[in-house]
Amino acid sequence: MTRSQQPGERVALVTGASSGIGLAAATALSTAGFTVYASARKTEDLKRLEASGLRTVRLDVTDEASMVAALAQINAETGPVSVLVNNAGYGLNGPTEELDLVEVRREFETNVFGPLRLSQLVLPGMRGQGWGRIINVGSVGGSFTAPGAGAYHASKYAVEALSDAMRMEVAPFGVRVVLIKPTGVHTEFAGKLSQTVRQTGAQSPYASFNRNMNRVVERMFAGRAPGIIQPIQVAQAIVQAASAARPRSRMVVGLSGHFYLMLRRLSSDRLWDALMRLQFPVTPPRS
């Protein structure tokens, strides 16, 4: 088989497939003819995925032994993974001064180090086939930063850098790396972000900021914020990235995402900061 050819059985592994983008992507890839392994950490999630007709594999992207075991299972059952969708993600919101560094490290383990290690583990098989796709679910937030989400944005900036380096490194082996950059998506993820913000106490100097951030995130979770997209829209981009002969290296999903990226490119730091303060005002406490 030449490096331009696609393997006969296209085996896809989707991380974080218990809900939201991951579930939509696993379902859409299966419909498109891929042999899909939907991964999750919890037994109840795996059972629910199996009931929907998907193959499953237990996988924790923060655990080396779990990643190795998952790939060993897939290799034994169907052969090497030819499409890896690094979707599992964890979001941490809050002012940088008040962030718990344990939680920040956990976020980077999930959002950055897990996808990097999984990519390392699947690449030998992709090189052996002469074909492969590594699809990283990033964010438009990998190109700009909003207050209160510094750690999350930092993790997505890191995913951008790793995707760019890997794209150039693995192209000679017939492997394509695609970065999916959605705008805000109506999923449970936003609700989890909101819960994280609420942990800050009322006496915090950032109390008003946190209240405003909760309001914005809750609107997103409810699907009321303008420009919010649905998981299926991201899933469709993932299928395109997995199927196209020459996929784009970056795929922005959602019109509002294109708008935010253009606005950031055209704005000075001073103007961008002013726009962000309008959305997330910080009221210093009275002395």
Confidence label for 217 from pLDDT (cuts 50, 70 and 90): confident
133 contact partners, CB below 8 Å, separation of at least 6: 82, 83, 84, 175, 176, 177, 178, 241, 242, 247
Name the residue range of residue 166's domain: 11-279
Phi, psi angles (nearest 5°) of residue 271: -65, -45
Residue 175 lies in a domain: yes
pLDDT tens-digit map of 32-70: 999 999 999 999 999 999 999 999 999 999 999 999 999
Rounded to two decimals, what is the model's pTM?
0.90
Question: Can you give the pLDDT at residue 211?
Answer: 84
Is the per-residue pLDDT at 8 higher than 80?
Answer: no
Listed residue (268, 233, 267) closest to 251, CA to CA: 233
Is the per-residue pLDDT at 191 higher than 60?
Answer: no
Confidence label for 283 from pLDDT (cuts 50, 70 and 90): low
Residue 228 lies in a domain: yes
Question: Can you give the pLDDT at residue 4?
Answer: 40
d(CA 84, CA 9): 14
The DSSP output letter for 100 is -
Residue 156 a catalytic site member: yes
Is the per-residue pLDDT at 194 higher than 50?
Answer: no
Residue 205 lies in a domain: yes
Phi, psi angles (nearest 5°) of residue 6: -100, 140
148 contact partners, CB below 8 Å, separation of at least 6: 93, 94, 95, 197, 209, 210, 213, 280
Listed residue (118, 108, 110) closest to 12, CA to CA: 118
Total domain count, the chain? 1
Question: Can you give the pLDDT at residue 281?
Answer: 75
Q: Which of 37, 90, 152, 260 is catalytic?
A: 152
The secondary structure of 132-164 as a DSSP string is: EEEEEE--GGGS---TT-HHHHHHHHHHHHHHH
Alpha helices in the chain (DSSP H): 20-31, 43-51, 64-77, 101-108, 114-129, 150-170, 188-197, 207-221, 231-243, 255-266, 269-279
Residue 2 lies in a domain: no
**CA contacts within 13 A on the Cβ side of 251:** 22
Question: Can you give the pLDDT at residue 198?
Answer: 46
d(CA 38, CA 224): 29
pLDDT tens-digit map of 91-112: 888 899 999 999 999 999 999 9
d(CA 220, CA 55): 31
121 contact partners, CB below 8 Å, separation of at least 6: 67, 68, 71
271 contact partners, CB below 8 Å, separation of at least 6: none
Residue 50 lies in a domain: yes
d(CA 111, CA 136): 10
Listed residue (77, 66, 78) closest to 39, CA to CA: 66
Beta strand 83-86 pairing with 55-58? unpaired
Q: Which of 37, 156, 181, 260 is catalytic?
A: 156
Query: The domain that contains 90 carries what CATH number?
Result: 3.40.50.720
Residue 260 a catalytic site member: no
